[in-house]
Structure 1
């Protein structure tokens, strides 16, 4: 498969899973690659995407188990999420397609102790942001060359179904400000490959910090 900036961070996101069994929600699931990785950990997964083509492709790929995956074409902003229902919610390269305050509904849908992980795209807005964005350029070139060499050795890349792309991103200053306002206690990290990570853990009142 071609080098994917989003897929590169799947292990990082999986490292945020809370312990034990449970149910996960994958918002903007695309072709279901991360949903399948969640199911492989034993989580039951509800995977949503606004694109019917993406959902069809995800269903066709099946599931590795042992967790079950329910794919559904849906608009997550329609207010149909069950409050307190999910131990883990992922939102990968999808939030810039939605109003940022959608994170409030996602946090409300977390069970106590549950984790919301948003891997997003934004524009740099500080010297540190620009330095990390620039540093990603040579690393990206090397990664793509390595993947291209692997594809040549294996007969070429298969055509990949691409989700709809929106090239309008908020500035990192806005991401940090709105995360602090809407997700108190969350952390925001700037990553390589022009991504950021918001991590929010819903407090479990039965086990106060």
Structure 2
């Protein structure tokens, strides 16, 4: 696999570092061509990637791995079981965020961990992050290049950063919200036993 970089891939190491050593199953929501799912599979024996885009799933399935890929709506698909770990990168803004977070919460086993990296709508108070993101992007593009993913894009995101923080705090008590450069935020949550 060639070394790729973009704003989403940048956060894969953060997600992978949150995988509990006890995790035996994972769900990658909005898996696209399966890059994160393949990295998760290096740590977790049973990985499912789900995406609505058939061409992305076809590409993911072209890799020789033992990941289960599903073309489905994560909000309604019957996965037949729950998961120890759920990851999602740049996907939440494609869905109703409240419905999606509620669904992810129901798919997570007690004691399981969920990590979401998302995009949100810019507001004036976000200007320092916007400037930092623009400068860091120029530096990273020069050093690493930039990989354009083949999956569908949804722009602009419907919710603001502060709105996502409020929503996540309401639906996922104790969630850790972090704002990042590269126009992203993350949610990390462990479901109570």
Decide: shared fold, TM above 0.5: yes
Question: Which residue of structure 1 aligns with residue 187 of structure 2?
Answer: 198
Q: Whole-Å Cα distance in 1 between the matches of residues 10 and 62 of structure 2?
A: 23
Q: C-alpha offsets along residues 20-48 of structure 1, whole Å, 9 cap, x if unaligned? A: 24100000000000000000113310100
Superposed counterparts of 1:61-100, under 5 Å: 61-63=63-65, 68-82=66-80, 85-100=82-97
Q: Whole-Å Cα distance in 2 between the matches of residues 33 and 54 of structure 1?
A: 11
Tell me whether 1:140 sits opposite 2:143 in the alignment. no
Q: Structure 1 residues 93 and 147, CA, compared in 2 at 3 Å: closer, same or farther?
A: same
Q: Structure 1 residues 126 and 203, CA, compared in 2 at 3 Å: closer, same or farther?
A: farther
**Alignment length, in residue pairs?**
189
How far does residue 160 in structure 1 lie from its aligned partner after superposition?
A: 5.8
Question: Which residue of structure 2 aligns with residue 40 of structure 1?
Answer: 42
Query: Are the aligned partners of 1:136 and 1:192 in contact in 2 as well (CA < 8 Å)?
Result: yes
Q: Structure 1 residues 184 and 126, CA, compared in 2 at 3 Å: closer, same or farther?
A: farther
- Indicate which of 134, 139, 153 corresponds to 1:165: 153
Question: Which residue of structure 1 aligns with residue 171 of structure 2?
Answer: 182
How far does residue 97 in structure 1 lie from its aligned partner after superposition?
A: 0.3
Q: Whole-Å Cα distance in 1 between the matches of residues 120 and 60 of structure 2?
A: 26
Question: Which residue of structure 2 aligns with residue 109 of structure 1?
Answer: 107
How far does residue 126 in structure 1 lie from its aligned partner after superposition?
A: 6.3
Runs of 5+ unmatched residues, structure 1: 149-156, 205-209
Query: Are the aligned partners of 1:87 and 1:113 in contact in 2 as well (CA < 8 Å)?
Result: yes
Query: Are the aligned partners of 1:125 and 1:173 in contact in 2 as well (CA < 8 Å)?
Result: no
How far does residue 62 in structure 1 lie from its aligned partner after superposition?
A: 2.3
How far does residue 123 in structure 1 lie from its aligned partner after superposition?
A: 2.0
Runs of 5+ unmatched residues, structure 2: none
Q: C-alpha offsets along residues 42-76 of structure 1, whole Å, 9 cap, x if unaligned? A: 3310100000000000000222xxxx410010011
Q: Structure 1 residues 160 and 111, CA, compared in 2 at 3 Å: closer, same or farther?
A: same
Query: Are the aligned partners of 1:81 and 1:105 in contact in 2 as well (CA < 8 Å)?
Result: no
Q: Structure 1 residues 92 and 78, CA, compared in 2 at 3 Å: closer, same or farther?
A: same
Q: Whole-Å Cα distance in 2 between the matches of residues 82 and 106 of structure 1?
A: 14
- Indicate which of 14, 17, 29 corresponds to 1:27: 29
* C-alpha RMSD over aligned residues: 1.9
Bigger CA radius of gyration: 1
